[in-house]
Chain A
Amino acid sequence: MALKMVKGSIDRMFDKNLQDLVRGIRNHKEDEAKFISACIDEIKHELKQDNIAVKANAVCKLTYLQMLGYDVSWAAFNIIEVMSSSKFTFKRIGYLAASQCFHEGTDVIMLTTNQIRKDLSSPNQYDTGVALTGLSCFVTPDLARDLANDIMTLMSHTKPYIRKKAVLIMYKVFLKYPESLRPAFPRLKEKLEDPDPGVQSAAVNVICELARRNPKNYLSLAPLFFKLMTSSTNNWVLIKIIKLFGALTPLEPRLGKKLIEPLTNLIHSTSAMSLLYECVNTVIAVLISLSSGMPNHSASIQLCVQKLRILIEDSDQNLKYLGLLAMSKILKTHPKSVQSHKDLILQCLDDKDESIRLRALDLLYGMVSKKNLMEIVKKLMIHVDKAEGTTYRDELLTKIIDICSQSNYQYITNFEWYISILVELTRLEGTRHGHLIASQMLDVAIRVKAIRSFAVSQMAMLLDNAHLLTGNTQRNGICEVLYAAAWICGEFSEHLEEPMQTLEAMLRPKVTTLPGHIQAVYVQNAVKLFATVLARQEGAGDRQAAQETTELLIEKLPQFVQSSDLEASCILQLIKYIQKLQAKEVSVSEEVSALFAGELNPVAPKAQKKVPIPDGLDLDSWINKPLREIESEDEKPRAVFQVEEPQHSRPRVPEIDEKELAKRREVRKQEQASNPFYIKSSPSPQKETANVDHIPVVQIDLTVPLKVPGMPMSEQYVKLEEDRRQKQKQDKKKDKKKKKEKEKKRGKGRRLDSAHTESEEDIAPAQSVDIMTEEMPENALPSDEDDKDPNDPYRALDIDLDKPMVDSDKLPVQTHRPTEGLKSPDPVAGVEEQDEKKSSKKIKKDKERKDKERKKSKEEKKKKKHRKSTPGEEEEGQVEKPAPAAAESKITALPTAPPTEDFDLDFWLSSAPVPSQSQPELVDPAPSSEPEEPKDEEEREESKSSKHKKQQHRKEKEEKSKKKKKKKHQDEGKAKSVQNGTLEEEEEPLPPMTNYSLLAENSDIKMVSTGQQGARMV
């Protein structure tokens, strides 16, 4: 045996350790894969040996390889072997490997349950710590169920090191095993007031995460958090708490009112940017929740906006970015306060950083008004020209369209201008957003009736110059625009000045290079145009011309017949038939036009989904056998336009005589009338007005020469619009004067406001949007909620925690514990009590205690059942301890009826809007007396605002917290050293979690300052 050991350690000397592996990989840059596979073979060999040190070394190397992207799941069992080593050095390696490699699907995990339980109850706190850390990475629902009780016990461990880890792991346990939330919650809540700030912070973290998903269940904790917020000096904790309040305020506006003051105080006093940022965010959330604001809240908004302006003006790009981000939140509810900073935000558009530019763009969206829309878009168009990266340019493009189209084109006063902007945007090469422009063109042309004639003229020009857009059809998304152009020209062909010219443009051979779905639209609309042309020519009595037109179609259409879209061949047949009729001198124009009678209106996005499928209709079954070759040959249309849907229902008539034609039309009409699922446009009155005469056509200034697309021309409409507005103003001047006089009589602040809105309303749009709502089938609600994710893991955690617990809420407890002797794993036993008992005679009494504990735990289990209460309750009778501990246990003792301050939320919320007034209510005098002082100091400091002072103040704070810590330590000291004092000596009193003062001096930190470290690393 001894020989074997010696042999083992000699072997080890020749093994590669991690350092050698890392070095080796570096030295084998050319044949890295080969080297690593050799290493893996070596590791496999090492894993087969009995020596645990060799195995641990091998696992350590595997962890590194795993990080490099090699699959090491085959070694899972060896990892478990190393995990169960009794030596901490090896155990640690095992757990590290497990935390990196294991996941829910690792099947050997179930073998670890007992090992982990043993480690959790180890007398060495670092064994426990490493087990907890590992568990956080690979806990499965099974592990969570089996170990929940053990971890919950550890939440009351004597060592804060264990407590804080246990508290944090509980969050993962809750996620995997939601049943554990309710029984563990009272203890978790208790940890919010843990004497150790680290544990406190952990508890805050966990509750914040829980509350973020299901805020309503945590509303009752608001008073407790409020107390923490006003007493804590730890910025990390404050950030979390303030974030939590941000989640709670939407549910309880009264809470928001209470928060405003302490938060604004913090904003004034803190020098930590991260905290300031968090405060501003929560104040914004509060102000959003207070819909009908109190008058003095405009001060808070102003404060936020001011502070954010400072951030945005800062040279630190990080602050600039965050400032813009937060500003966009204010924008939603208080656009006016943001609008005054338009200059600054426009300035950010020129920033070197793309993320900052994008944030600024977001802000612009909310800042436009009727007055400044044209100006802002003009600026953006300049940026579009300048933009180099296609991604940013595309982003600009979408933003321009978003800005203009928001709330049904609310801010557009001149649609001629908008159409010309859209046409200008088609000049962008290589944009992905051709379909977006196209859908805008369609939408505007359909909804704004007055603009149709102008739109048609522009679209005709686009079609005429189609070659400019189709340079590279493969990559160029812009040709989608032709889809819209063709459709608009066809559908509203009555507005065309020279339909014949457009018709010819649409039948050019070049068109066949376009994607199939665009060709199809071309063909359909060519026929619409044809109908118009025919009508005009026949109206003029020029039968010869009409026949020539038909001839043209018959000549040109065959080039489309090869397309996989079937329109062309059907329509060709139709035209041939028309030709026959024309030869017989029959006038056909009326009949042909009748094919396209009626108006197409926009359909709501979800409309199709809302139409129930009739019985017996299987949408998946083939009508005909599928043709194999044609499938997937042609590019499918990417964008599904809103207007596209009804187009499919358009009849594509093959060869039929006119009687038949009329008959079929009649039948179809009847069918439609009787079919409840046919989407009729009857609810909107526009349908009947298919007659174009009713449509008010805007006078176009014809002195302006029409330009070829490709030249900027939106400019001229800006001028025209300005003139128009000027004129309007003059007309209204008299009225205005009267109004202004009235205004003067009103209050000062009010006047500013009303003056602003008035100038907004003053501008009457040149054209108005006629069709606002989309068509929906009956009984369909537009706001139907069908997008909720049923698989949301946080749903299971939506548990009402204020309800009293019932029997079924208990955690499963293992009755036979292999490791029970090591340390009391009992969930209930007050740890302090044990400490006293154990002290010197620890080992002798060990056995005795074991038995005692067993008894006790049994008793307690009984009690539990009877009283239906939390574990904390049991502590009451048994613990004889110094006052603070007793007070604590009392707090937890009554989870359903907590003491004063968080007892009645309503009471708390209704009384004392000022935080200082709420202080006296607090139960525990020790922590509450402390916060008062630093607060005062902070205020003082603010007035002096000297950096020297600040530092001094910080020191003071630190000292204070140290003192506090020491005091506490003395209280516990005696007991602590005995409890876990096996491996390590009595710990030095460690300072609490840093109140990270660095946060304050953010802008001072140079990014690359500590170069040494990095140099060494790589």
Chain B
Amino acid sequence: MIKFFLMVNKQGQTRLSKYFEHVEIHKRTSLEADVIKKCLSRTKDECSFVEYKDFKLVYRQYAALFIVIGVDEAENELAVFELVHNFVEVLDKYFSRVIMFNLDKVHIILDEMILNGCIVETNKSRILAPLLVLDKMAES
């Protein structure tokens, strides 16, 4: 099961967060700060899996952007690692502009891919289908 999904920039600012298990808001900030610190301090020579408390962090860096996923011990780390890449590919396919201002759309994408802490969809066109419908609605 996936516990949370974070997008963070190199300065450690959260760009997007999604929790699949409820975490109180004041705990979220400290958890995020902690998690980000753990991941940012690692070099490229180190593996992308970090043992953190009772779960694992799987992270991936794309230039200045970090994507960190918290998973429980039963999740296949490599599969999650690939999921991150898949996600970034989907973003790449859809967005032509800065996505920072379209976070709600990123949320839609994420909701299509991960639901309830499980990976539901990895096919790009399937993931983007609802978003395209929405865009059509907005145009008309």
How near does chain B come to A351, taking the closest CB pair, in angstroms?
Answer: 8
- Assembled-state Cα–Cα distance A588/B15 (Å): 78
CB pair B91 A355 closer than 8 Å: no
Find B88's partner among A168, A209, A1010 (CB 8 Å cutoff). A1010
A246: shortest Cβ distance to chain B, in Å? 9
Evaluate contact between B25 and A66: CB separation under 8 angstroms: yes
Q: Any chain A CB within 8 A of the CB of B54?
A: no
Q: Nearest Cβ in chain B — how far from A169, in angstroms?
A: 6
Contact with A along B30-64 (1 / 0, CB 8 A): 00000000000001111111110000000011111
Chain A residues lying within 8 Å of B97, measured Cβ to Cβ, are 1016
Chain B, 2-29, CB within 8 A of any chain A CB: 7, 9-10, 14-20, 22, 25-26, 28-29
Binds B, one of A318-326, A365-373, A536-544, A925-933: A318-326
B121-A993 in contact (CB<8A): yes
Residues A990 and B123 in contact, CB atoms below 8 Å apart: yes
Interchain CB contact under 8 A, B123 and A992: yes
Across-interface contacts of B17 in A (CB, < 8 A): 67
- Chain B, Cβ-Cβ closest to A990: B126
Q: Which residues of A contact B134 (CB under 8 A)?
A: 88-89, 92, 126
Task: Report A581 CB to chain B, min CB distance, Å.
Answer: 61
Contact B65 A1013 (CB under 8 A): yes
CB < 8 Å neighbour of B82 from A69, A132, A172, A998: A998
* A64, B106: Cα distance in complex, Å: 12
With a cutoff of 8 Å between Cβ atoms, the chain B residues found around residue A93 in the complex are: 104
Contacting residues, chain B, for A1009 (C-beta < 8 A) = 62
**Residues from chain B with Cβ under 8 Å of A104 in the complex:** 22
Q: Beyond A89-B138, A1008-B62, A1017-B64, is A236–B79 a contact (Cβ under 8 Å)?
A: yes
Say yes or no: A991-B78 contact (C-beta < 8 A), given A89-B134, A103-B22, A201-B120: no
Task: Closest B residue to A355 by CB, please name it.
Answer: B47
> Are A353 and B47 interface neighbours, CB within 8 A?
yes
Docked Cα-Cα span, A810 to B38, in Å, equals 48
A18 to B99, CA, bound (A): 12
Q: Contacts A126-B130, A278-B76 given: A1010-B92 contact, CB under 8 Å?
A: yes
Main SS class of interface, B: mixed
User: Among residues 969 to 1018 in chain A, which have CB atoms less than 8 Å away from a CB atom of chain B?
Assistant: 983-984, 987, 990-994, 996, 998-999, 1002, 1005, 1007-1018
Given contacts A172-B116, A318-B49, A999-B78, contact A1011 B123 (CB under 8 A): no
Which chain A positions have C-beta within 8 A of B119?
201, 205, 236
Nearest Cβ on chain A to B25's Cβ, whole angstroms: 6
A202 is an interface residue with CB less than 8 A from chain B? yes
Query: Which of chain A's residues have a CB closer than 8 A to the CB of B19?
Result: 137
User: Are A1014's CB and B47's CB within 8 A?
Assistant: no
Most buried by A among B64, B99, B120, B134: B120
Tell me if A133 and B98 are in contact (CB < 8 A).
Answer: no
B137: A residues at CB distance < 8 A: 88-89, 983
Given A67-B14, A126-B130, A993-B123, A1015–B101 Cβ distance below 8 Å?
no
Question: What chain A residues lie within 8 Å of B1 (beta carbons)?
Answer: 209
Which residue of the partner chain, among A96, A212, A318, contacts B104 with CB atoms under 8 Å? A96
Contacts A273-B78, A277-B76, A1002-B78; is A1010 near B47 (CB within 8 Å)? no
Give Cα A606–Cα B60 distance, bound, in whole angstroms. 45
Residues of B within 8 A of A172 (CB): 116
Q: Chain B: how many interface residues by the 8 Å CB criterion? A: 73
Partner of A1017, one of B15, B81, B104: B15
Q: Does A80 contact B (CB under 8 A)?
A: no
B129 CB contacts on chain A under 8 angstroms: 161, 987, 990
A649 interface residue per 8 A CB criterion? no
Is A294's CB within 8 Å of the partner chain B?
no
Partner of B122, one of A96, A987, A993: A993
The winner among A92, A212, A983 for most chain B CB atoms within 10 A is A92
A60 at interface, CB cutoff 8 A: yes
Binary interface profile of A, 111-127, with partner B (CB < 8 Å = 1, else 0)? 00000000000000010
Select B133's contact among A71, A212, A984, A990, beta carbons within 8 Å.
A984
A321 touches which one: B47, B76, B100, B123 (CB < 8 A)? B47
Question: Which residues of chain B have C-beta atoms less than 8 A from A697's C-beta?
Answer: none
Known: A1016-B98, A1017-B9. A320 touches B47 (CB 8 A): yes
Smallest Cβ distance from A656 to chain B, in angstroms? 55
| A212→B72 CA distance, assembly (Å) | 12
Check A165 for interface membership: any CB of B closer than 8 A.
yes
CB distance from A954 to the nearest CB of B (A): 15
**Would you call A22 and B82 a contact (CB within 8 A)?**
no
Chain A residues whose C-beta falls within 8 Å of the C-beta of B102 in the assembled complex: 19
Residues of B within 8 A of A67 (CB): 14, 16-17, 103
Give every chain A residue within 8 A of B77 (Cβ-Cβ). Answer: 318, 322
Chain B residues whose C-beta falls within 8 Å of the C-beta of A827 in the assembled complex: none
A1017→B99 contact, CB < 8 A: yes
Q: Known: A198-B121, A317-B47. Is A277-B100 also a contact (CB below 8 A)? A: no
A171 at interface, CB cutoff 8 A: yes
A1013 pairs with B22, CB closer than 8 A: no
| Chain A residues within an 8 Å CB radius of B95 | 1016
Across-interface contacts of A66 in B (CB, < 8 A): 25
What's the Cα separation between A746 and B98 when bound, in Å?
Answer: 73
A129 at the interface (CB under 8 A from B): yes
Whether A205 and B118, one on each chain, are in contact in the complex, defined by CB atoms closer than 8 angstroms, is: yes
Residue among B44, B62, B97, B108 facing the most chain A CB atoms (10 A cut-off)? B62
What residue in chain A is nearest B107 (Cβ atoms)?
A96
A415 to chain B minimum Cβ distance, whole angstroms, is 34
* Cβ contact of B63, chosen from A63, A169, A212, A1011, cutoff 8 A: A1011
| Apart from A322-B78, A994-B122, 14 more pairs, CB < 8 Å | A18-B103, A19-B101, A67-B17, A136-B116, A198-B120, A236-B79, A243-B74, A274-B76, A317-B47, A990-B123, A1008-B44, A1012-B63, A1016-B98, A1018-B9
Interface residues of A (CB under 8 A from B): 18-19, 22-23, 60, 63-64, 66-69, 71, 88-89, 92-93, 96, 99-100, 103-104, 126, 129, 132-133, 136-138, 161, 164-165, 168-169, 171-172, 198, 201-202, 205-206, 209, 212, 235-236, 239, 243, 273-274, 277-278, 317-318, 320-322, 352-356, 983-984, 987, 990-994, 996, 998-999, 1002, 1005, 1007-1018
Residues of chain B having any CB pair with chain A under 8 Å: 1, 7, 9-10, 14-20, 22, 25-26, 28-29, 43-51, 60-65, 74, 76-79, 81-82, 85-86, 88-89, 91-92, 95, 97-104, 107-108, 111, 115-116, 118-126, 129-130, 133-134, 137-138
User: Closest 5 A-B residue pairs measured CB to CB?
Assistant: A1014-B63, A274-B78, A1014-B65, A1014-B62, A317-B47
15 contacting pairs across A/B (C-beta < 8 A): A22-B101, A67-B103, A69-B28, A168-B116, A168-B120, A274-B76, A277-B78, A317-B48, A318-B78, A322-B49, A356-B46, A996-B122, A1007-B44, A1012-B63, A1017-B9
